[in-house]
Each structure stands twice: as structure tokens, then as C-alpha cells.
Amino acid sequence: MGQTLSCRVPGIEQDLYAAVQSGELKVVESILQLHPGILRRRTLHSDLSVLHIAAANGHLEVLSMLLDLGAHPNALSRQKRTPLMLAAMRGKLACIEKLLRAEATILLFDSVHRRTCLHYAAYYGHSDCLQAILQTAHSSQISDSWGFSRFVNVRDAKGETPLHLAAKQNRLDCVRTLLEKGALVSASSGYSGFLGSTPLHLAAREGSLECVRELLAWGADRLQMDSAGRTAYVVASRRHPLCAALLNPSSAEPLVWPSPLKFLSELNPDVKLLLEKALVAANRKREKKIMKGTVFSLPSPARSESVDDDKLECNSMELCCICFEQACTIEVQDCGHQMCAHCTVSLCCHSKPKTDSQCHPAPACPFCRSDIARLVVANSKTKEEIEKLGEGNHKA
């Protein structure tokens, strides 16, 4: 799609479409005052409604006025695309939010690829739009009637979920968002050309190194085969040696985020940041060992580049009683035992996901063996507090 989206219609309708396309609010308002019926008129010349045009070009004021005047939020083009789908394609977040408030339906499929607005947001890499749509799905009737998990994993005509599309297009932020919301990491597609492909297969085929890393960290199975009997390693080995190195079944398995998903989704943001940094560091060491002695070198993960080390500094003088190397930054509740983020990752993350059961035992505290249900950032004593406490005890 080009930079602008328009439709050629004769006479006054052409003037209206041109004004909507360019976002000329006053002109649109004047035309609709003189010809109020034109808003609902359909012509043989127009494929898209004026609402489609406003949404696709991100003209929020025009879009709002059209909705206030009675434009239908679920207007369909000839390909059964809605204004919400076009806004998702273009990444027009404000227009998406307005359409969602106007009760635009998120569970509509176009007639070209049988894709929803969620598919389009994922395919074009607009993670903010993706999150807005998913938030609406959580709070709307979709969650109650159709099921939120089912919506996150909705398939298009090729059997591809939004995660498939995001992985194929190397949309790392969208891949991460979808996984955090419950996207199935090893779902198989149904398209005849790549039948049985998982998101990992598609990321490997396109050489999407960062997406391969992310999918592996969420438990994607390196041994899973497509209908042709190919693993993601075989797919990557033809053109993408870096991806192939990480996917090689003979190399060490990466650490993955803990299962079940609920454990991670309920983490305190500060704790999640600490664990995320520790997991990335652990997998980076693994990658260096894998690549040692080869002609390839791996770039640093994008995830680690976005982590501010200054935010993760800990002034605590208490060392982890497990490794005796890192400061205690994580506290288990309700038992109160503390350990460093690296040891927490080792305890709570497993090297290979279990496939025989959907129910995984909760990780256990290494000190008291109670189930780890909640983690918080440790409120350890700082050096100054320890010195003051020592002075107080000395005076006493």
C-alpha cells in the first residue's frame, strides 16, 4: 500500500473523498452539511468508505466527526476489510483507539487472507496497536464468548496465527507481546506450501535471528518438524548460518521463561526486568560457547540493549547464598528468602519444555522448598544501613 489511500468517485463524492484523504476537516464538514445523505451512499465507483480513508491515513478529527455523524465503525470494503483493519495496517493507534471506543468489532475476517485486525497489526509490526486490540479483547465480549486465548491464536486462511506472521516478518516487539499474552509458541500452520510450520520455522526461514532467540526463550521446540520432516535447523541451514547455529539440536538447550505462563504474567515489572537481564546473560554465554571455534559471530541480543544497567544496580552487601557471586535482588514471597536474579532464573526456568502435560509443577524455594508463587525485588539493607546497624550494636 502506498503513502496515501484514496478512491476515485465522481462529482461531489470525489471532493469528499479527496478532503477526507488530506484531512481537511472544514471542507469535509462543509460538504456533509450540504449533502448529509452522501455519508451513507454507496456507489459502484467506491471500494472504501470515507471512514476507511480517514482511518488508513490517520486523520483522527475527521474520523471522529464521521463517527459522530453516523458512519458505521464496521463498514466493509469489497474485500471485507474494516476501517480497523486499515488502521492496524498503517499503525494509526489513535484511530484504532477511537474505533474501538465506537465499538468496532475486532473479530471480523477479510475475504482476501481471512485475517483479522490482530493479524494485520502483527504482520506490519505495530506492537502498540497490537496491545490496544488485545486489551479490548480482554475487556470485551470476545473474551467471554469466543475466548481470549482463542482470539490471540486466531488463524488466517493459511492456518497462520498472528505470531506466525510476526515471526515471519521479523517483528520482535510483536512476537514478544503475543507470547506474553498467551500465543502458542509451537503452533503449526496449515498452509500447503509450508504445512506444519511453527513460528520458529518461519523465523528461521527468513533469518530472523532476534525472533529465533525470543521463541527459543519461550520454549519453542527445536526438534519439532513440519509436514516435510524438516526442523527449524534444517530450514535455517540453507541460507542463515547464525540462526542454524542456535537451532542446531546438538548444541546446548537455551534457558526458557518459566511455565506455566501465569507465573510470568503476574511478575512484578521490576522483578521481570531483573530476571529478563539474567536470562539474556545466561543465554548469551551459551551462544558464545556454541559459536566458539566457528567463523561466525553473533550480535548481542536486542533485548539486552534495551535494558538499562543503571536501573539494575544493587547496593546490597548481602551475597546470594547459592552462588556467592551476585547480590541478592529477588525475594520469594511469602517465605521471604532472597537470592540473586541469575540463580532465580536457573531455578524457575527450565532448559527443555515438557510436552507430555500442560500442567507444570511450580518452582520451589531452594531454602524451605515451598512453592514459588510470587517474586518481588528484594528490599535488602544497603551498605550505609548495615554500617549504621553495626554502630548501633557497638554502642549498645
**Interatomic CA distance for residues 165 and 177, integer angstroms:** 13
Q: Is residue 225 part of a domain?
A: no
Domain span including residue 377? 315-349+363-396
**Interatomic CA distance for residues 387 and 8, integer angstroms:** 77
**Interatomic CA distance for residues 87 and 89, integer angstroms:** 5
Nearest to 199 by CA among 154, 169, 242: 169
Mean local confidence (pLDDT), 199-218: 93
**Res 373 pLDDT > 60:** yes
Q: Of 102-111, 208-217, 370-379, which range is least confident? A: 370-379
Phi and psi, residue 47, nearest 5° = -90, -45
Domain total of the chain: 1
- 99 versus 384: the higher-pLDDT residue is 99
Q: Is residue 336 part of a domain?
A: yes
Q: Is residue 384 part of a domain?
A: yes
Instruction: Quote the cell numbers at residue 332.
Output: 520469594
Do 275 and 344 meet the contact criterion of CB atoms below 8 Å apart? yes
Whichever domain contains 341, its CATH number is 3.30.40.10
Task: Classify 377 as helix, strand or coil.
Answer: strand
Q: Is residue 68 part of a domain?
A: no
Nearest to 186 by CA among 208, 164, 155, 157: 164
HEC profile of 296-353: CCCCCCHHHHCCCHHHHCCCECCECCCCCCCECCEEEECCCCEECHHHHHHHHCCCCC
Q: Is residue 323 part of a domain?
A: yes
The label of the residue with cell 451512499 reads 41
Question: How close are the terminal C-alpha atoms of the chain, in Å?
Answer: 77
Q: Of 128-142, 204-218, 270-284, 296-310, which range is least confident? A: 296-310
Do 304 and 284 meet the contact criterion of CB atoms below 8 Å apart? yes
Total residue length of the chain:
396
Q: Is residue 306 part of a domain?
A: no
Q: What is the pLDDT of residue 285?
A: 80
Task: Write down the number of H helices and E strands in the chain.
Answer: 21, 3
**Res 94 pLDDT > 70:** yes
pLDDT band at 41 (very low <50, low <70, confident <90, very high): low
Q: Is residue 224 part of a domain?
A: no
**Res 205 pLDDT > 80:** yes
Task: Classify 16 as helix, strand or coil.
Answer: helix
Task: Classify 153 as helix, strand or coil.
Answer: coil
Q: 102: which DSSP letter?
A: T
pLDDT band at 26 (very low <50, low <70, confident <90, very high): very high
Instruction: Quote the cell numbers at residue 164.
Output: 506466525
- 40 versus 124: the higher-pLDDT residue is 124
Q: What is the pLDDT of residue 372?
A: 78
Task: Classify 289 as helix, strand or coil.
Answer: helix
Q: Is residue 335 part of a domain?
A: yes
Could you tell me the pTM of the whole model? 0.76
**Res 185 pLDDT > 80:** yes
Do 213 and 203 meet the contact criterion of CB atoms below 8 Å apart? no
C-alpha distances in Å from residue 391, one per residue of 307, 318, 383, 385: 37, 18, 12, 10
Q: What is the pLDDT of residue 305?
A: 44
Mean local confidence (pLDDT), 190-200: 77
